[in-house]
Amino acid sequence: MYQADEKRYEEMKYNRCGASGLLLPAVSLGLWHNFGSNGNFDNMLDMCHTAFDHGITHFDLANNYGPVYGAAEENFGRILKKDLGRYRDELVISTKAGYDMWPGPYGNWGSKKYLVASLDQSLKRMGLDYVDIFYHHRPDPNTPLEETVRALDGIVKSGKALYVGISNYNKEQTIAAAELFKELGTPFIINQRKYSMFVRDIEKDGLKDYAAAHGIGIITFSPLAQGLLTDRYLHGIPEDSRVRTDGRFLKEAAIVEETLKKVRALNDLASQRGQTLAQMALSWILKDGDITSVLIGASKPSQILDNIGIVHATSFSNEERRKIEEILV
């Protein structure tokens, strides 16, 4: 029977999520990839054990993570039932709704009907009474924001979620939602956005600074730019890379020589810091203390161990920061 490592909290750093009482690990595990119906369950189990044994208490899901839709939640539910559920009070489990989930007009976007039904389905798949954080996964251009916000508020009041979050909302959308949540007294604590050395929209639209100034946490996904900020592409595109096998998220056309030159220069700088490129890319995200947690994906336990090592190596000298900015121009 699985027994969690007694020293699991000794190496991880925990950051306060906005102005709330919730602490999140600096590194969280996302189940976007490799936890679907096409994955190996024993490997999923090993990854979750490895993560928790090293202080990763936060596991992030969404209703349609798969393939197939719902499969990641179902597999995580199996993991909870098998052994990790014994530690439920030590876990932060989040899920989301907002993208296409089931056919017809009620299985997408941000209506109250969709959000409430989706969470009920998610809880059933995972075998849970509640999640710690429930997110609206993306802004809905047609449903009134007040309806979406009131639905999330009602979900918290029903006891099915402890906190609410939003995902993929820009600064203006975040401000509008935050004002409504404040009026209702909803525990809105976090925005989940894409962020990496190559994708810096939260800096450009001002969300990063706004969130830090107004007590809203930020958790970031795709920190390695779908694998581009690793050693996988230093010498071109491997035949077994995600670009070749699944071009939905990283297009081959995006991997031009100019980009690869930047990757190689960043890799050289990472080596000088005693890190891999992936480790430096994760450290860079956490460097200013304005990001609550960085979501990592993994296909095997060793990748989780490699990534965890960055939590106490997030400082950069002024010279290193200057060199990085010069490379990224």
Distance CA 280, CA 270 (A): 6
Domain residue ranges in the chain: 14-225+282-315
Contact between 36 and 67 under an 8 Å Cβ cutoff? The reply is: yes
CA–CA dist 56, 43 (Å, integer): 17
What pLDDT, on a 0 to 100 scale, did the predictor assign at position 257? 87
Structure tokens given for 253 = 């056309």
HSE value, Cβ hemisphere, 13 Å, CA-based, for 301:
15
Both tokens assigned to 18:
């906005």
* Residue 182 CB-density burial (10 A; 0-12 exposed, 13-18 middle, 19+ buried): exposed
Count Cα neighbours of 162 within 13 Å in the Cβ-side half-sphere.
14
Q: What is the pTM of this model?
A: 0.95
CA 290, distance to chain mean position in Å, is 15
DSSP reduced 3-state for 98: coil
**Which residue ranges in the chain fall short of pLDDT 70?**
239-250, 253
CB 24 within 8 A of CB 58: yes
pLDDT tens digits, one per residue of 273-328? 999 999 999 999 999 999 999 999 999 999 999 999 899 999 999 999 999 999 99
Q: Containing H/E element for 95?
A: strand 92-97
Cα(292)–Cα(286) distance, rounded to whole angstroms?
8
Residue 237: how many other CB atoms lie within 10 Å:
15
HSE value, Cβ hemisphere, 13 Å, CA-based, for 55: 21
Find how far residue 273's CA is from the centre of its chain.
Answer: 25
pLDDT at 124: 98
What's residue 249's pLDDT?
Answer: 60
Residue 329, helix vs strand vs coil: coil
Cis peptide before 238 (omega within 30 of 0): no
The span from the CA of 157 to the CA of 154, in Å, is 5
249-277 per-residue burial string, b: 16 or more CB within 10 A, e: under 16: ebeeeebeeeebebbeebbebbeeeebbb
> In the prediction, which pLDDT does 240 show?
63
Supply the pLDDT for residue 225.
Answer: 94
Whole-angstrom distance, CA of residue 46 vs CA of residue 256:
36
- For residue range 93-127, what is the model confidence (pLDDT) as tens digits? 999 999 999 999 999 999 999 999 999 999 999 99
pLDDT at 63: 98
Containing H/E element for 72?
Answer: helix 71-82
220 three-state secondary structure: strand
Predicted confidence at residue 238, as pLDDT, reads: 73
Domain formed by 14-225+282-315, architecture: Alpha-Beta Barrel (3.20)
Short-list 2, 183, 171, 189, CA closest to 94: 189
Q: Which residues of 28-45 are buried (b: 16+ CB within 10 A; e: fewer)?
A: bbbbbbbbbeebeeeebb
Q: Tokens 């007694």 correspond to what residue?
A: 6
Instruction: Kindly give, in sequence order, each residue whose CB lies less than 8 Å from that of residue 246, ignoring residues fewer than 6 positions away.
Output: none
